[in-house]
Structure 1
Amino acid sequence: MTATPGTPSTRSYPHQPSTVRGRGGSAALRDTLTLMSLPVLAALALPAAFAGGGTRRWFGGRAEGQRAEAQAAKDAAAAAFYELDTAQRDLRISVETITAVDDSPAARRAVADFEALGLRIDEVSQRYIQAVDAHDLDRDDLEAATAARARGELTAAKDELLRVRQELDRFGSSLGPLLGKAETQLARLAPAVERARQALLGASNALDAVRQTGLAAEDLAARLAALSPELTKLNQGAGQHGLPQTLERAERVQREAAAIRAEAERLPEKAAEIDHRLVSLRTRAQALTTRAGQVDPVLSELRRRFAAACWQDLQQVPAQAAQNVGQAELKLREAQAARDAQRWADATSLLSTVRALLNTTDEAVSAAGDRLTRLNAVQKDPQQETERTRFAIRDAQRLAMTGRTTPDPRHARPLDDAVARLERAVGTLEGRHPDYWHFLTETEAVRQTVARVVAQIREERGGPGR
């Protein structure tokens, strides 16, 4: 017997079973090894129980009684040896199962303890073999004293074998938690690998379906091909690559294959979406070209009716709009080429750039028209903007005084400043060419300041309802 897990060995003993130990990791292997050893036991372990036949002369009396007792002791020792050998082989499979999935300190201690037990088993086995070899119980001239001595030595060998068997059984019981954990992990392996294989098959089928619609999907095909070496390693199994690594690989392959499948299934929808965006953005660019041409008349009216400060910041809008639209149309052509080449990521990125350019242009073109509309309104009735701002200030002042006899200086000071700022803005409307745009920006700034004070008061008092 040997105690080094995973190292095959063959040992033959006179009149004893030959034990062949091989690596294993499952109950099926343990059963196979046990069944293989039974004929060997029947042929080799107990030959003396049936030896003789009609070839030996039998002498009655005390010698024959001692011979029978010695033979019984030999049979009992052989049975104990076989049971110990079988138990050690079964336990070796359990230890190898643990070491295949567990490299913890507890698992390493289990291996060391099993090796130590193996040395002990080798010692008692050797003494048993020596006892068997020392006595030929089939001799015709076997003396009673010799038979008695043989019985004593064989009985002692059997007792040692049984004691070591008990030690082995206790050690086996102590492996319960480690073995349970290892078997749980092993039970996860086959389903995980199968899920990975099914995910790869699903991705391959989805890719084939997409190609039938005329989409090449070359990037997805390349990603799927990159998983082929991983499938090879999964097929090679945990024995070659380790259980934790194989489980992690199976889960990673499943995730990546599932992602490829999802992208493949969505690819026709993505292509249609890009086609729609190309048409939509092209139409929008054309519309902005038309709107940008209307900015010059707006600017002309602003120059004619209002002070320079009201329109100077809009002078570059027509040129900038034309430049932005031209750049957007160039990017649209590039996006169309990328879509035709089925470079979906490039097409999507270029369309995002086009959208940003058109948004900027839209805002600038709209700003000119909005400016004229607001200036017309304030020129016609500046009092409306003034009253709107004063109402916001008064409302904030009432909130600041709620539940107080004097306002908190942190609230009163910015509100007082807002009143003074509004009065200064109203004063700028006096004169021959009032700066209405400055007046509008000042009143807007005053309302923003007031809104911040209101938000601060409500936050300090625990909510908007107070």
Structure 2
Amino acid sequence: MTATPAQPYSPSKPRAHHALRDTLTLIALPLVAALALPAAFAGGGTRRWFGGRSESQRAEAQAAKDAAAAAFYELDTAQRDLRISIETITAVDDSPAARRAVADFEAISRRIDEASHQYIEAVDAHDLDRDDLEASVAVHARTELTRAKDELAGVKRELDRFGDSLGPLLGKAETQLVRLAPAVERARQGLLAASNALDAVRQSGLKADDLAARLAALGPELTKLNQGAGQHGVPDTLERAERVAREAEAVRVESERLPEKAAEIDHRLVSLRTRAQALTTRAGQVDPVLSELRRRFTAACWQDLQQVPDQATENVRQAERKLMEARAARDEQRWPDATALLSTVRALLNSTDESVSAAGDRLRRLNAVQKDPQQEIDRTRFAIRDAQRLAMTGRNTPDPRHARPLDDSVARLERAIGTLEGRHPDYWHFLTETEAVRQTVARVVAQIREERGAGH
């Protein structure tokens, strides 16, 4: 409340202050009156007592004054409490709803000022302690004080309704304030734990420069946290604390895992070097395989493998160079570089392994189909018949979307079988065709099952 009994609402401040003092000592009045009455009757008092109607009106006016003072006090207390709630909201929330709440509170505060001014004027206008207080004056005083009390009570009800409407905003703000102190403390403890973990790693002989740089970058953030929410705002401070805690935790975890990572890189260096050496040996075995393919089968069966020996040799050579770079990065403790280089080496060796294996696999499959092509034919026909049975399940006629590719697959298989006739069959073409037929059939089966599953 902007206006309180101790604030200068009018030039009659001493009288207003006296009225409030009377109110605050209201409880003591009966005792004081009890002590004063005997003295008055004994001639020791200064008031001239008038009996009858005048004293009755004086008492009623005094009761109205006391009731108005009580209403004034209740309104003042409620406004002070609500101001704290508004300050809590504005410290956390800058949303349109929060700004509207501030504007509404200012409007109600102006209403409170008006009602308080009316009350203080009513108190200042009437001295109920005058010896010659007339009954008509006491009645007028009672009327004005009652009106002032009613006005204060009405504004109090309006203030209470406004306070009730602040529930969601206040709850949200209080939740964030409750989270603030623990969040800041977690951030500080997280930074301390990360710093301790980093010190332990360095004592073991590992540099961890990148982790140290990440931890140092959090220093300014800690300074802002120490400056507090009063300077940077609750939402920003809360977000900063949570982010610092996350990043500090990441530094701590990576610091504690660094010795394990170093050992893992050492192991991968040895393992990939051994694999590169083994691939060098296997790459040397591709030429004899190609020679046999050239001697026994048509060019279409092996010409795409012609570059495998040279490519394998080049890939292994590149892998060995990258391994040397990875070793240097590990010795310099450039862990990200070492990890990236080892990934490159692995990709090169995987590619080489696949191409070297492809030559031997090609010879094995061609030998099998040359010896018994019927096994490949039966395998493909079985896949087609199985798909046809599925397509007819629960139907009198198959769906054209399923029947057409299956019929095409039958025709394609027959054409592939026809390529085996003649003096020099193209076995590789036959194998690639049957594989393609089985893939087409598998797609049709998957489509049928998906559609029926969706129907259920």
Using the size of structure 2 for normalisation, the TM-score is 0.75
CA distance in 1, matches of 2:394, 2:177: 72
Q: Does 1:61 align with 2:48?
A: yes
RMSD of aligned alpha carbons: 4.3
Match of 1:117 in 2: 111
- Which residue of structure 2 aligns with residue 313 of structure 1? 304
Q: 1:393 to 1:243 in 2, by over 3 A?
A: closer
Separation in structure 2 between the aligned mates of residue 17 and residue 214 of structure 1, nearest angstrom: 76
Inter-partner Cα distance in structure 2 for 1:94 and 1:3? 19
Q: Which amino acid aligns with 2:83?
A: R
1:51-450 correspondence to structure 2 within 5 Å: 59=46, 61-62=48-49, 88-102=79-93, 103=95, 104=97, 105-121=99-115, 123-124=117-118, 127=121, 130-131=124-125, 144=132, 159=146, 162-163=149-150, 165-167=152-154, 169-174=156-161, 175-178=163-166, 180-181=170-171, 182-400=173-391, 409-450=400-441
In the aligned structure 2, how far is the partner of 1:340 from the partner of 1:150?
Answer: 102
Offset of residue 88 of structure 1: 4.5
246 and 329 in structure 1: CA distance in 2 versus 1, 3 angstrom threshold: same
When residues 361 and 119 of structure 1 are mapped into structure 2, their CA distance, relative to the original with a 3 A threshold, is same
- The offset of 1:308, in angstroms, is 1.7
Question: Residue 149 of structure 1: CA displacement?
Answer: 9.3
Aligned partner of 1:32 in structure 2 is: none
Please tell me whether the aligned partners of residues 108 and 159 of structure 2 are also in contact (alpha carbons under 8 angstroms).
no
For 1:252, the aligned partner's letter is R
Q: Does 1:2 align with 2:6?
A: no
Query: How many aligned positions are there?
Result: 423
User: What CA distance in whole angstroms lies between the structure 1 residues aligned with 2:249 and 2:375?
Assistant: 62
In structure 2, the residue matched to 1:23 is none
Q: Percent identity?
A: 69
- Label 1:407 to 1:240 Cα distance change in 2 as closer, same or farther (>3 A): closer
Contact 1:207 1:264 in 2 (8 A): yes
Q: Which runs of 5+ in 2 are unaligned?
A: 34-43
- Rounded to whole Å, the distance in 2 between the matches of 1:208 and 1:458 is 59
Q: C-alpha separation between the residues in 2 aligned to 1:118 and 1:127?
A: 14
Whole-Å separation in 2 of the counterparts to 1:211 and 1:439: 63
Separation (CA, whole Å) in 1 of partners of 2:214 and 2:105: 42
Whole-Å separation in 2 of the counterparts to 1:294 and 1:456: 43
- Specify the SS of the correspondent of 1:432: coil
Distance 1:185 1:456 in 2: 52
**Amino acid paired to 1:124:** Q
Shift of 1:228: 2.9
